[in-house]
Amino acid sequence: MTSDVSSNPILRTTLLWSGVVTVVLAVAAAIVGGLVAGPDGVWSALSGVILAAVFLGITGASILIANRWFGDPLYVPVFFGIVMGGWILKLIIFIVALIILRGQPWLDGPVFFVAVVVSVLASLTIDVVVLTRMRVPHVSDVSLPTTDPEQDRYRPLDDEKDQDTGKNAAP
């Protein structure tokens, strides 16, 4: 198993930048949430930023994990199984988070909502910046033929060569 997939550096860079921005957003959201809604605003903002970071990180991490099977004959089913498992995990986390957070007296809805939206927008901005700055060819992870297939069609097979000279017997 190799991980020579051209998307790996992009995903690693995106996850790294997302982690840094999550820390910055958590601090900023806690300060703004505290100014707007007091201690409840701090916890609401931190919950929103952390929840968004977990959701956005699961996808990138699942693809990086799945890419470890690149080159394996079962790469495609393993890849889609791991990525789909990540989506199912996100769905379960989302439902559990809704159940836990619903009706909490400390949760300030508008602060939580703004924190989630700002976190998602920051993540999308990171994705766009990383993708536009990485130098990855449009077609990658393929090997191109070294000869023209049209020319190969007219080349005689080895058993059509002259046995004495080793040269092509065909004109």
The pLDDT tens digits for 24-73 are 999 999 999 999 999 999 999 999 999 999 988 888 899 889 989 888 88
pLDDT grade for 3, boundaries at 50, 70 and 90: very low
52-72 exposure pattern, b = at least 16 Cβ within 10 A, e = fewer: bbebbbbbbebbbbbbbbbee
Judged against a pLDDT cut of 80, whether residue 2 lies above it is answered with no
Residue spans per domain, the chain = 8-134
DSSP class per residue in 123-144 = HHHHHHHHHHHS---SS-S---
Give yes or no for residue 160 having a pLDDT over 80. Answer: no
Is the full-model pTM beyond 0.85?
A: no
Please, what sign has the CA dihedral across residues 51, 52, 53, 54? Answer: positive
Q: What mean pLDDT do residues 99-110 have?
A: 91
